[in-house]
Amino acid sequence: MTVTVKLFGMLKTQLHHESELTVRLDQGCKVDDLIAAIQSMNPDVGDLLLKRKILVSVNHHIAHGETELTSADEIALLPPFSGGSCTSGERTSYVYR
Amino acid sequence: MTVTVKLFGMLKTQLHHESELTVRLDQGCKVDDLIAAIQSMNPDVGDLLLKRKILVSVNHHIAHGETELTSADEIALLPPFSGGSCTSGERTSYVYR
Amino acid sequence: MSTVDAEAMLVRVQRENFSIDEEINRVRNRSTRIGGIATFLGTARDRSEDRDVSRMTFEYYEGMAQKKLREIRDRALQDFDVIEVLVLHRYGEIDIGENIVLIVVGAMHRADAFKACKWCIDELKQITPIWKCEHTPDGQMWVEQHP
Amino acid sequence: MSTVDAEAMLVRVQRENFSIDEEINRVRNRSTRIGGIATFLGTARDRSEDRDVSRMTFEYYEGMAQKKLREIRDRALQDFDVIEVLVLHRYGEIDIGENIVLIVVGAMHRADAFKACKWCIDELKQITPIWKCEHTPDGQMWVEQHP
């Protein structure tokens, strides 16, 4: 099956300036399998997914590795959130757009 | 000498609906003497002054009993403040206007 | 507007209602370093303990009230890591739901803005010579609050 | 406006700027029991750590961002003694000094309003899929914040 994965923020830059990614997976695949597939495409992004610095959402819920996927699911990769205003003493890291 | 004492809030009600009080005092009198004079005019208000539920201000500063008074001073009796909005779980007591 | 006039607008006791957008802009315009603005708006409730309230009247001590509000602003600016503070209280007759008091604090970091804003309104209630009279079905009463 | 429409206005992600007076009125108009309204307004600062920032762009995940903001409002209403909560975030290009995010909380008592307001903005930053890109002299950068 083919799943479409939405990309946001710095991930669009890191994954070839696309806002969506299409990934071929076996029927009955899990989020862990999706992460492995992305790891082989882009090891940096794969590592951030494994460390859960980037999260996977399925149908607007944060998913864990065992969550099963279907081609009807709305899947997204979520880099660290940075909404709100810059009002705390946060460390900041940057990725060029 | 004669001093003029400004009245606010519930004190205007308690002291004959006047916004000022004129009190005759000896030269060199202190706030404690003013309180004694008010005590003889209105024991209820005098008691609240002695308990410091009502404060005396002299020239916009909260005064203590030993503060000396002159006829040029701006003197006021300040009942408990109730500015701001009614937003805490306060006990409230009332005096009819 | 001169600096003195702009500062005078940051501490006021006035009869008229105010626009919160306008008051926030006075604070915001003081510095582009501001990243968070905490605001407290006190409004007139229709209940006071177990009494219905239909309206209220605020009285203040002209001169001393403003002096105390300036003290509050100065101390907040000194004791907290904040950039600007505005303190505003109305007097006269105020209907249910209407604005009574406004504190606006601008800071680089939001935690400081919240802390200073809360301190200002707590302090205002303690030290500012302002008095509230509530209009109730039993008549008009001066309110004395015990924290 | 129906109840459903009025509720929908209390949680929004939108490009346009907003009036704080209007948003506060949405909260105020929900109940005459409200005596204190705590507000947090996040504005665009011209510095981010040691970099000059000339502008910023916010991107969000349509659908999921709104869902998370609704969750924040629902949990605040449930976990704090407050009467109404409004949560609003802008997206798109935002100039220095402009509004980014607004939380408005109305309560009977001011301490509850402050606590809930602070919790909402802290939680918003943790769980809402919104991303900021800063325009700096070195180019445009996606910001990743570590509390």
Instruction: Say if B46 falls within a structural domain.
Output: yes
Cβ(D144)–Cβ(A10) below 8 Å = yes
Cβ(D124)–Cβ(D101) below 8 Å = yes
Q: Which token pair is D34?
A: 């409200």
First to last CA, chain D: 40
Residue A68 pLDDT > 90: yes
Q: At C129, is the pLDDT very low, low, confident or very high (cuts 50, 70, 90)?
A: very high
Give the whole-angstrom CA distance, residue A78 versus residue A68: 18
Cβ(D89)–Cβ(D60) below 8 Å = yes
Q: What values do phi and psi take at C19, rounded to 5?
A: -95, 130
Residues 6+ apart with CB under 8 A from B43: none
The CATH number of whichever domain residue B46 belongs to comes to 3.10.20.30
Interface contact C34-D45, CB threshold 8 A: yes
Instruction: Say if B92 falls within a structural domain.
Output: no
Give the whole-angstrom CA distance, residue C75 versus residue C73: 6
Return the pLDDT at B12: 86
Q: At B13, is the pLDDT very low, low, confident or very high (cuts 50, 70, 90)?
A: confident
Give the C-alpha distances (Å, rounded to integers) separating B29 from B4, B75, D12.
14, 13, 65
Q: At B93, is the pLDDT very low, low, confident or very high (cuts 50, 70, 90)?
A: low
**β-bridge pairing B61-62 and D99-107:** unpaired
Chains touching chain B at 3 or more Cβ pairs under 8 angstroms? Answer: C, D
Chain C positions in Cβ-Cβ contact with residue A89 (cut-off 8 Å): 109
Q: What value does the mean pLDDT of chain D take?
A: 93
Interface contact D100-A85, CB threshold 8 A: yes
Which of D25, D27, D31, D43 is best to mutate for the C interface (most C CBs within 10 A)?
D43
Closest residue in C to A88 (Cα) is C109
Q: What range defines the domain where residue A40 resides?
A: 2-73
Return the pLDDT at D143: 85
C92 — alpha (psi -120 to 50), left (phi > 0) or beta?
A: left
Residue B91 pLDDT > 60: no
Q: What value does the mean pLDDT of chain B take?
A: 89
Q: What are the structural domains of chain D?
A: 3-143 (3.90.1170.40)
How confident is the model over C80-115, as pLDDT tens digits?
999 999 999 999 999 999 999 999 999 999 999 999
How confident is the model over C7-51, as pLDDT tens digits?
889 999 999 999 999 999 999 999 999 999 999 999 999 887 778
Q: Which residues of D touch C (CB under 8 A)?
A: 19-21, 24, 28-29, 32-47, 96-97, 108, 110-111, 113-114, 117-118, 121
ipTM of the complex: 0.92
Instruction: Say if A88 falls within a structural domain.
Output: no
pTM, rounded to two decimals: 0.94
How confident is the model over B54-82, as pLDDT tens digits?
999 999 999 999 999 999 999 999 999 99
Give the DSSP per-residue string, A44-66.
HHHHHHHTTSSEEEETTEE--TT
Lowest-confidence pick of B62-66, D20-24, D29-33, D140-144: D140-144
Q: At B88, is the pLDDT very low, low, confident or very high (cuts 50, 70, 90)?
A: low
Q: At A91, is the pLDDT very low, low, confident or very high (cuts 50, 70, 90)?
A: low
Instruction: Say if B78 falls within a structural domain.
Output: no
Contact yes or no, B with C (3+ CB pairs under 8 Å): yes
Span D47-76, average pLDDT: 94
Return the pLDDT at B90: 53
Return the pLDDT at D6: 81
Contact yes or no, D with C (3+ CB pairs under 8 Å): yes
Interface contact C110-D38, CB threshold 8 A: no
Instruction: Say if B67 falls within a structural domain.
Output: yes
Q: At C132, is the pLDDT very low, low, confident or very high (cuts 50, 70, 90)?
A: very high
In chain D, alpha helices (H)? 3-8, 20-28, 64-79, 110-127
Chain D positions in Cβ-Cβ contact with residue A95 (cut-off 8 Å): 141-142, 144
Return the pLDDT at C82: 98
Percent of chain B past pLDDT 70, that is, above it, reads 87
Residue B97 pLDDT > 70: no
Return the pLDDT at C18: 98
Interface contact C110-A88, CB threshold 8 A: yes
Give the whole-angstrom CA distance, residue D143 versus residue D59: 12
Q: Which residues of B touch C (CB under 8 A)?
A: 6, 8-10, 13, 57, 60, 74, 76, 78-88, 90-97
The count of structural domains within chain A is: 1
Q: Which token pair is C107?
A: 């800071």
Return the pLDDT at D30: 94
Interface contact B85-D36, CB threshold 8 A: yes
Q: Which residues of C touch D (CB under 8 A)?
A: 19-21, 24, 28-29, 32-47, 96-97, 108, 110-111, 113-114, 117-118, 121
Q: At C146, is the pLDDT very low, low, confident or very high (cuts 50, 70, 90)?
A: low
Give bridge partners of residue C102 from the DSSP assignment.
Answer: C41, C88
Identify the helix (H) or strand (E) that includes residue B68.
Answer: none
Cβ(A24)–Cβ(A33) below 8 Å = no
Instruction: Say if A30 falls within a structural domain.
Output: yes
Instruction: Say if B53 falls within a structural domain.
Output: yes
Q: For residue B92, with 0-12 CB atoms within 10 Å meaning exposed, 13-18 middle and 19 or more buried, which class applies?
A: middle
Instruction: Say if B97 falls within a structural domain.
Output: no
Q: What values do phi and psi take at B33, rounded to 5?
A: -70, -40
Q: For residue A45, with 0-12 CB atoms within 10 Å meaning exposed, 13-18 middle and 19 or more buried, which class applies?
A: buried
Chain B positions in Cβ-Cβ contact with residue C126 (cut-off 8 Å): 81
